[in-house]
Structures are given as structure tokens and as C-alpha cells.
Amino acid sequence: MADEAIDSLGFIKSHWTAWWVLGVAHKRVHSWRSLYICYSVLVNVMATACYPLHLGLSLFHNRSLTEDILNLTTFATCLACSAKCLLYAYNIGKVVRMEQLLRLLDERVSGREQRGIYGQVKLQLRTILYAFIGIYMPCGLFAELSFLFKEERGLMYPAYFPFDWLNSTRNYYIANVYQIVGISYQLMQNYVNDCFPAVMLCLISSHVKMLCSRFQEIGRDPSIDAEKQLEECITDHKRLLELFRCIEGFMSLPMLIQFGVTALNVCISIAALVFFVSEPMARLYFIFYALAMPLQIFPSCYFGTDNEYWFGRLHYAAFSCNWHAQGRSFKRKMIFFVERSLKKSTAIAGGMLRIHLDTFFSTLKMAYSLFTIIIRMRK
């Protein structure tokens, strides 16, 4: 552990790869830029814009109620996914600044305790990655199985096409290839949309823990200037606050969209299971879909809560140092820092909702409230 290189940027390399494939990594493309822009326009028109559109044009015009419900849930998810992807593409420049701040914070990591905290981050982020794979794989699998087990010719997702896919084999294959490729892009968008905020919040939380450890060490070694240590820690705190504001601005509107879509889709999925859907594969799909939607927002809410907790512990860490043996200048700077650290650092979605576990449970309560409305309407 002692010789392990500290590189927080390694945890977001997969996100840059996904953004490159999705055509929004223009900040990282320097050669063949014109060709990449053409690719970006084509991908985003065909997948980001047209995919939700071809689903939306079929709303409530399908052959069965099950298809209508499947169409509605898929349309809502894909529309939200496309909107979030466009918002992230617009703010992609903020990721470059986040990387700069992470490099500066990585340079400050030292000692066995801080490296131990960094080692825990690997396990946490690996868990997040496996969780998102576990979310998307069953949903995609049962959507495909539901499609394959249909007795008559049909689409993976009910949708509108400007040609007759039902009576033409060629058009049928064109429609299905478009849906398979399109949903693959949508799943990749969902991965990066939901995973990146959770990863960044986890990294911020770990760096705040490491800063707490550095504060506690101030003044313990007489050979090191305690006041200089304090100033460096205050600089680290400023960088962490800037990093926190960057990720908050980056994910604010997308998270607000995700909270609303999660409540709606959980409600519709449960209503479909209880009242409308009887086909076994469709029921399995809606079961995993109802479980997947809350899990998309849980990691971000969990680490949002963790951020708030550890930022709130900084002033306790400051008073754990050997401050009473220091001079007046040191104590004055420490008082200023403590006053600043008392201000809560809570990520807000859309200026309205905290990215916090409280909001996660409130979203589930909202889904339940919508479900009770459906029950009353049926009576």
C-alpha cells in the first residue's frame, strides 16, 4: 500500500471512453476533430434525439395495454437519459477543471492512514461499477427475452417507424437493428450519466477524510512548521469546495430529472405488475425495472450524504490537532477556517432537492403516492 501510486483520475477513464463513443468528448479530441464532430452530430441525432422520438410517437397507439405501459416507461427513461446526456455534454468543460483539482489533491496524499483511505475508495468504486452492471444487465436481458418469446413479429420496444416493418422482412430487420444499436447507446449514456456523479462524490468524500487526517497531524512533529501545515490544509479545503461546487453544478439539473423519472417509472412498473401485465417475461422485466430505477439514484444520494457528513467533521478534526501549543497567528487562522467549515456543504439538484438519502426515500414515497392515486382511479 505504501508504494501505491495515487491517481484519482484513473477512476474516471472509463467515463471519458464512454463520452468519446457517445460523441461528447470534444474537449479531448485534437486530431481528426472535424471527422469526430461529424460523427458526434450523426450519433446524437440518431440515438440521443431520434430514439426517444420514435418511442414517443407510438405512445398509447400500440396493440395491447402491456405494450402501452412498456412504451411509456421506456420513453420516459430514454427521454430523461437523452436530456441528461445533452446537459452533461454542455457542461463537459467542468470535468477538465475537476481533473485539475483532483491532481492537486492527489499530490497531498501521504502517510499510511491516508493511503489506507485511498485503498478503500477502490473497493467502493468497484462496488458502484458492479452495481450499475447489475442494474442494466437484467433489464436488457429480460427486454430481449420478452422480444424473442413473442409469438408474432414484433419490436423489442413498441415504437413508430415511417415504414412498414410488420409486412416487410427487410424493414423488420432494419427496425430491430436500429432499436438494438440505439438502446446500446442509451444504456451507455445511462451508465455515464448515473455513475460519474457517484464516482466524483465518492472521491470528494475520500479526499475530505484524508484532509481530516492531515488536520489531526498538525503540530505533532516539532520539526515541521505547524502554521505552514495549517495553510496547506486550508488550501486543500478551498480546492475541495471548488471541486464540490463543480460537480454540483455539473449534475444539478440531470439529478433533478432523474428523481422525477424514478418516481414515475417505479409507480408505473409496480402498477403494471399488480394490475395489467400477465406475460411471464414481461412481468420479470417490470420487476427488475422497478428495482433498477431506485438503484440508479442510490449511489449518488449515499455519497451526497457522506460528503455532507465528512465536510461537517472538518472543524472537529481541526480541534484535534496540537493547536494549544501554537502561536496567536496560527490560532487566528484556525478560527477563520473553523468558522468557514461550519457552513454546510450539501449538493442540491436543480436548486430544490438535496442529493441525499432523505431525498432517495422521498422519491420512493412519491412513487407510492402516485400508485395510491392509480388505485383510487381504478375504484
Phi, psi of 167 (to 5 degrees): -110, 5
Q: List pLDDT tens digits, range 76-101.
A: 989 999 999 999 999 998 999 999 99
Q: List pLDDT tens digits, range 268-299.
A: 888 888 887 777 777 877 888 888 888 889 99
Partners of 233 in beta bridges: none
Which pLDDT does position 3 carry in this prediction? 57
Mean pLDDT in residue range 14-19: 91
Which amino acid makes up residue 33? R
3-class DSSP state for residue 46?
helix
First vs last C-alpha separation in the chain: 63
Domain residues of the chain, as ranges?
8-378
C-alpha distances out from residue 340 to 10, 267, 330, Å: 31, 42, 16
Q: List pLDDT tens digits, range 239-274.
A: 999 999 999 999 999 999 999 999 998 998 888 888
Closest CA to 187 of 132, 266, 250: 132
How many angstroms separate the CA atoms of 199 and 176, rounded? 34
Which pLDDT does position 111 carry in this prediction? 84
Quick one: 6 exposed, middle or buried, by C-beta within 10 A (0-12, 13-18, 19+)? middle
User: Are the C-beta atoms of 22 and 188 separated by less than 8 Å?
Assistant: yes
Its sign, for the CA torsion 127, 128, 133, 139, is positive
User: Are the C-beta atoms of 150 and 66 separated by less than 8 Å?
Assistant: no
Question: Residue 232 has which C-alpha cell?
Answer: 496547506
Which pLDDT does position 180 carry in this prediction? 86
Q: Which residue has the cell 438519502?
A: 357
Ranked by mean pLDDT, the top range of 136-150, 158-172, 238-252 is: 238-252
Which pLDDT does position 326 carry in this prediction? 84
In the chain, the percentage of residues whose pLDDT exceeds 70 is 95
Which pLDDT does position 66 carry in this prediction? 74
pLDDT of residue 378 exceeding 80 = no
Closest CA to 87 of 252, 211, 223: 252
Partners of 353 in beta bridges: 349
Helix ranges (DSSP H) in the chain = 13-22, 33-43, 50-56, 65-90, 93-106, 111-148, 169-217, 226-271, 280-311, 314-319, 328-341, 357-378
Closest CA to 207 of 95, 118, 337: 118
User: Are the C-beta atoms of 185 and 47 separated by less than 8 Å?
Assistant: yes
pLDDT of residue 151 exceeding 80 = no
Q: Which residue has the cell 494549544?
A: 324
Q: List pLDDT tens digits, range 168-224.
A: 889 988 998 898 889 889 888 988 988 999 999 999 999 999 999 999 998 888 888
Report the mean per-residue pLDDT for the chain: 87
Which pLDDT does position 4 carry in this prediction? 65
More confident call, 154 vs 8: 8
| Residue 347 per-residue DSSP state | -
Which pLDDT does position 269 carry in this prediction? 86
Which pLDDT does position 155 carry in this prediction? 80
Q: Which residue has the cell 405488475?
A: 273
Which pLDDT does position 1 carry in this prediction? 45
Partners of 349 in beta bridges: 353
Q: Which range (9-13, 103-107, 136-140, 228-232) has the least confidence? A: 136-140
How large is the angle between the packed helices 65-90 and 169-217, nearest 10 degrees? 50
Which conformational region is residue 111 in: left (phi greater than 0), alpha (psi within -120 to 50 degrees), or beta?
left
| Residue 11 per-residue DSSP state | G
Q: List pLDDT tens digits, range 114-132.
A: 888 888 888 888 888 787 7
How large is the angle between the packed helices 93-106 and 226-271, nearest 10 degrees? 140
Q: List pLDDT tens digits, range 343-354.
A: 888 899 988 899
Residue 377's pLDDT band (boundaries 50, 70, 90)?
confident
How many angstroms separate the CA atoms of 236 and 240, rounded? 6
pLDDT of residue 301 exceeding 90 = yes
Which pLDDT does position 123 carry in this prediction? 85
